[in-house]
Structure 1
Amino acid sequence: MGEFSAQWLALREPVDHAARSARVRDVLLADLRKRHGEQLSGLSILDLGCGSGSNLRAIAPHLGGQQRWCLVDYDDALLDAARLALKAWAHVVVSETTDSLQIMYGDRDIEITFRSADLSGDLQTVLAWPADLVSASALFDLVSRQWVDRFCDALRTPLYAVLSFDGQMQWEPEHPFDQTVRQAFCMHQATDKGFGAALGPSSGRYLCDALKQRAFEVTIDKSPWQIEDLPSAFHDMLIDGIAHAVLETGSLGEADMDTWLAYHRRASLCLIGHDDLYASVP
């Protein structure tokens, strides 16, 4: 679950897209129309921790005919994966250079720049790049309170932050170890992910409060993964990742963890909670 391989990101993308809060997205679109006109054309979007470009594929079809995206990640392999995935998603590849791509998706003309940056150290520089919207998916549960405070102090544009883990985790049918696994995984999520002690499941609440303290108008809503088509490669990779994290905490031994894994590979429902958030600038 915390592994950012191209394979994992590809498996989770349809689940992510289905989970996104329509209410938060509608607030985002309404606010952008007030600021930029009904057509929403010509917008520049800065996507932080872009992974394989899933955020662009989720949002771009709702925006105007002309779009400029800057995809930022620290992992060059993920930037390469984003380029390949976007070329496969596009209806037409118009042009391509070493650090950019222009595609058509329907009548959307999308210019994409790929930028490598370490958000733990280059945050101020990255947020100074021109943008009408900053977006991020599954990022804020990885960062620290101090990083969020610096981010909010520097933010000058609306923010669309989706799929921050909120600590909710359940399966049907239940297993006696479920609560122990959930607590251990939440504990693991709060360890250092490269930005200091991570906010983990408290990230949505903390980000919301930090933005409100700086006069942003914030809309927040739940966006849970609801996985019913089981078993699946996505679910197998999800519970394997959870088990790996739990074993690192020492909360369960390998034999108990194997029992839990075998039981939930036959689950009929898996629900993993997230928060989606939109913040409008004062």
Structure 2
Amino acid sequence: MPGRDDDGGAMGASGGFDPGWLRLRSAFDDPARVERLTKLFAGSLPENPRLLDLAAGTGANLRYLAPRLGRAGQRWVLADHDRVLLEAAGGEVARWRQQASALPFEWECRQVDLVRDLDALDPAAFDGIVSTALFDLVSADWAERFVHWLAQAPRPVLFTLSVDGRLAWAPEDPADDEIRGWIEAHQATDKGFGPGLGRHAPSLLAGLLAERGFDVFTAESDWNIGPADTAMHGALLEGYRNAALEIAPPDRADTIEAWTQSRLKDAAQSGLTALVGHVDIFARPR
């Protein structure tokens, strides 16, 4: 899944996402996730569930969900195209499991190109399917292809932390609207799946699932980044700067740079807060 994370994260040397960025964002992902939808997903699973995590990265979904599912004998497949991230996932999960050793589960990492080889995965082999921060990166065509694939053997799904276009900083800056526009334009570029859905992902995916006979539940799962979160502000601002510079004409570069430096100064002085809007989706076959 080449490209930049729509939340601003940079790519790593492998062409995928930097494991350091994934580690940083997990501290904001976990509080943002919607507990009610997690419980609905858990309640839809059998006692010994087989679970597939698409675009699993370093295994953050497993580490968050496994202790909350209330199911023994969980068996996880972490699927991602990026070998470097999957290798990191093995270490991250192993270290985490040392602190959660009483939890009975198995896991394996599987390198899968979701663009070319989605059909190599069989939805019937799993009892539930999850993914985090994937669907705002994909195209409408790929989302339709995915839902068609899922409909072959409908399973409960939990898709978390898709951006929905809400992005705000306090205090406000006169250039905020322009920067948001460039970020949104960048989100619509090809991240390896075709033109990205960006902020349209939650509504389009929910609609496709409903059309295929799923009951669909959605809820906002926002990042709230406070004045003390200087590392996160810095990572996001640099990511947004780079995205804007890729999209904007050269004569807007000075405005983008000035905005970035002003915001970085605010963050360094603990004078900046930000809201990054996301949506979680739980869907189950009727």
TM more than 0.5: yes
Alignment of 1:83 onto 2:57: no
Q: How far is 1:128 from its partner?
A: 4.0
> Residues 52-77 of structure 1: CA distance to partner in whole angstroms, max 9, x if unpaired?
11111110011223210000000000
Residue of 199, 212, 215 corresponding to 1:214: 212
The amino acid across from 1:11 in the alignment is L
Q: How far is 1:25 from its partner?
A: 1.5
- Which residue of 2 is the match for residue 139 of structure 1? 134
> Residues 225-245 of structure 1: CA distance to partner in whole angstroms, max 9, x if unpaired?
001143422221111001100
**Where is the strand percentage greater, Structure 1 or Structure 2?**
1
Residue of 24, 39, 51 corresponding to 2:37: 24
Q: Root-mean-square deviation (CA), in Å?
A: 1.5
Listed as ranges, the matches of 1:1-282 within 5 Å are 1-3=8-10, 4-32=17-45, 36=46, 41-63=47-69, 64-91=71-98, 105-128=100-123, 130-155=125-150, 156-250=154-248, 253-265=252-264, 266=266, 267-282=271-286
The amino acid across from 2:84 in the alignment is A
Counterpart Cα distance in 2 of 1:22 and 1:179: 32
Structure 1: any 5+ residue segments left out of the alignment? 93-104
CA contact (8 A) 1:72 1:114 kept: yes
CA contact (8 A) 2:138 2:196 kept: yes
CA contact (8 A) 2:44 2:156 kept: no
Q: How far is 1:2 from its partner?
A: 4.2
With 226-235 and 49-58 compared, the bigger mean Cα shift is at: 226-235
- Which residue of 1 is the match for residue 13 of structure 2? none
Counterpart Cα distance in 2 of 1:29 and 1:229: 34
- Which residue of 2 is the match for residue 96 of structure 1? none
CA contact (8 A) 2:9 2:235 kept: no
Secondary structure of the residue aligned to 2:57 is coil
Structure 2: any 5+ residue segments left out of the alignment? 1-7, 11-16
> Residues 15-54 of structure 1: CA distance to partner in whole angstroms, max 9, x if unpaired?
000111122222222333xxx2xxxx31111000001111
- With over 3 angstroms needed to count, the CA separation of the structure-2 counterparts of 1:244 and 1:127, relative to structure 1, is farther
- Which residue of 1 is the match for residue 14 of structure 2? none
Give the fraction of aligned pairs with identical amino acids, expressed as a percent: 36
Counterpart Cα distance in 1 of 2:149 and 2:285: 12
The amino acid across from 2:284 in the alignment is S
Q: How far is 1:264 from its partner?
A: 1.8
Instruction: Give the TM-score, by structure 2 length.
Output: 0.88
CA contact (8 A) 1:167 1:273 kept: yes
> Residues 238-277 of structure 1: CA distance to partner in whole angstroms, max 9, x if unpaired?
1100110011111573322222112222243111001100
> Residues 140-182 of structure 1: CA distance to partner in whole angstroms, max 9, x if unpaired?
0011111111111111211110000111111110111111111
Counterpart Cα distance in 2 of 1:239 and 1:127: 39
The amino acid across from 1:263 in the alignment is S
> Residues 85-111 of structure 1: CA distance to partner in whole angstroms, max 9, x if unpaired?
11221126xxxxxxxxxxxx2421121
> Residues 128-148 of structure 1: CA distance to partner in whole angstroms, max 9, x if unpaired?
461111100000001111111
